[in-house]
Amino acid sequence: MMDHAKRLRSLISAMKARSLDALLVTDEANVTYLSGFKGQDSMLLVTPRRKFFITDSRYSEEAADTLKGFSIEVVRTTAYDTLRKLIRKSGSKRVGFESMDLPYEVAARLKAAVKPGRFMGERDMVEKLRAIKDPEEIALIRRSVSCAKKTFNRIVRGIRPGVTEEEIHRRLEIEFIRQGARSAFAPIVAAGKNSSKPHAHSGRTAVPKNGMVMIDIGCSLDGYNSDLTRMLFLGKIGDRLKKIYGIVRAAQEKALALIKPGVRISDVDRAARGLIEKAGHGGHFGHALGHGIGLSVHEYPSISGRTEARLAEGMVFTVEPAIYIPALGGVRIEDMVLVTKDGSEILTR
């Protein structure tokens, strides 16, 4: 069972470090993480003494039945009025908000509503807590990974030359539903030359007789997500594509070998990117090496050369080096990794 009270205590410690009297949490995944509530159109106002769950009449009964430790506040007129009253009631003078989630106009109106208090944008406060998964979360992620792997293995058996990207796409989504899950994102099925497009849209292109298919899928199960990419080769493959596949595989293995607590995240990205650059394909790998994953498909931390934070036990993220060459095709290999006490575990193999 998730320990939401512990998460709230960690958040309050982070708030104190930033001299905040309160934090307005509006990101849906963050609301779920801190409270356990899985509905929509709700937010939290967290103070050291009280925790307010703010929603409307559609979710008030569910919130009252499922939440513990929160004062349920139902919006009667507008959310602005409700928040203004709660902030004044709590005596909060320095109120933080999630600047990457709240639209500018909403933030501006709230800023005026909480005067004379200060309303300040904050980034990644809850996201950094979410980056370290607890044992219950890791167990749910493992279930999601198992679902994705089963789905891939079942669908791949039916892939033959002539089958279209759209057909494979539909089969993947149906198989997820059969397992009591859903696609975490629109599956990426890119046949032949379309594989040079990192986020290609599935279309009517057919699987070639001698060629490859890139399949990127993820499963959402019990609120937690998985994400993996595999290359499927059919018939005879040209030497150039074989060589590219070998480079990408070697780059991934080099990055995976570095993963353990204390390692700088940027160094993991540079290990894979450096090998690809040395092979002459630096210009064919434009995205980050990976991303955190959990309640959201893409979450903190970004596994990129710009992330100077260090790896910590409990982090779960993807490692997905790639080479994309227009008019030829692309290769991406993506696996999910858990940082353990002494090293790492590859979850998707």
Rounded CA-CA distance 54/71 in Å is: 8
Residue 123's pLDDT is what?
A: 93
CA angle 248, 253, 256 (to 5 degrees): 125
Residue 207's pLDDT is what?
A: 95
Residue 115's pLDDT is what?
A: 79
Full pLDDT tens readout for the chain, 349 residues: 789 999 999 999 999 999 999 999 999 999 999 999 998 889 999 999 999 999 999 999 999 999 999 999 999 988 888 998 999 888 999 999 999 998 899 888 888 877 778 999 999 999 999 999 999 999 999 999 999 999 999 999 999 999 999 999 999 999 999 999 999 999 999 999 999 999 999 999 999 999 899 999 999 999 999 999 999 999 998 899 999 999 999 999 999 999 999 999 999 999 999 999 999 999 999 999 999 999 999 999 999 999 999 999 999 999 999 999 999 999 999 999 999 999 999 999 9
116 upstream amide cis, omega within 30 of 0: yes
Residue 288's pLDDT is what?
A: 98
Residue 173's pLDDT is what?
A: 97
Burial class (CB in 10 A: 0-12, 13-18, 19+), 83: buried
Quote the tokens at residue 324: 């994309």
Predicted model pTM: 0.95
Residues near 313 by beta carbon (within 8 Å), at least 6 away in sequence: 132, 261, 339, 340, 341
Where do the domains of the chain lie, and which CATH numbers do they carry? 4-130 (3.40.350.10), 135-346 (3.90.230.10)
For 263, what's the count of Cα atoms within 13 Å in the CB-facing half-sphere? 25
CA distances from 77 to 12, 57, 124, 335 (A): 29, 11, 30, 47
Quote the DSSP letter at residue 99.
T
Quote the tokens at residue 16: 């104190």
